[in-house]
C-alpha cells in the first residue's frame, strides 16, 4: 500500500469518515526529515497494519487541511480510528514507538 496524496479538504474529510483506520502524514517540501521518515512509516504500516489507509498531506500546498487539523510543524503524523483522532506525533517521531501505539488500537478494531 502506498500513500494516497490528498488534493482537497473535502477529499480528506470523506476519506477520514469512510475508512476505519487512517494514518495521515503531514509534511512540507522543505522538510528533509520528512523525506527520510516517510518511506519508513509506509513500510511499517504496509507490513503491520494492512487495513490502514495511508494518506499524505502537503501542508504548504493544502494549508486549509493542515489548519483544520491543527498542524503547525512537519512532520506530523495523525492516526484516526473510526473518524476520531487517536494518535498524534510531531517532529522527532520514532517508528517503533508509533507502531506499538497503533497496534493497541488496531488490534481492538480488526482482531
User: Distance between CA atoms of 5 and 11, rounded to whole angstroms?
Assistant: 10
Q: Is 43 exposed, middle or buried (0-12, 13-18, 19+ CB in 10 A)?
A: exposed
Residue 75 to residues 35, 42, 51: CA-CA distances in angstroms?
9, 14, 23
Task: Inform me whether the pLDDT recorded for 111 exceeds 90.
Answer: no
Residue 4 has pLDDT above 80, yes or no: yes
* pLDDT tens profile 12-38: 999 999 999 999 999 999 999 999 999
Confidence of residue 1 (pLDDT cuts 50, 70, 90): low
Residue range 37-75, pLDDT digits in tens: 999 999 999 999 999 999 999 999 999 999 999 999 999
Q: Can you give the pTM of this predicted structure?
A: 0.95
Locate 72 and state its grid cell. 503547525
What's the pLDDT tens digit per position in 78-106?
999 999 999 999 988 999 999 999 999 99
Torsion angle, alpha carbons of 39, 31, 53, 41, to 10: 30
Provide the sign of the torsion angle of the four alpha carbons 97, 98, 103, 108, taken in this order: positive
Residue with cell 483506520: 21
For each of the domains in the chain, give its residue range(s) and CATH number, in order of start. 4-110 (3.40.30.10)
Amino acid at each position: 500500500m502506498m500513500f494516497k496524496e490528498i488534493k482537497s479538504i473535502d477529499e480528506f474529510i470523506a476519506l477520514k469518515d469512510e475508512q476505519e483506520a487512517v494514518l495521515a502524514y503531514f509534511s512540507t517540501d522543505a522538510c528533509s526529515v520528512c523525506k527520510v521518515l516517510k518511506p519508513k512509516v509506509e513500510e511499517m504500516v504496509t507490513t503491520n497494519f494492512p487495513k490502514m489507509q495511508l494518506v499524505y498531506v502537503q501542508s504548504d500546498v493544502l494549508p486549509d487541511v493542515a489548519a483544520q487539523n491543527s498542524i503547525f510543524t512537519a512532520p506530523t503524523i495523525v492516526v484516526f480510528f473510526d473518524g476520531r483522532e487517536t494518535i498524534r506525533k510531531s517532529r522527532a517521531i520514532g517508528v517503533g514507538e508509533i507502531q506499538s501505539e497503533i497496534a493497541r488500537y488496531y488490534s481492538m478494531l480488526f482482531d
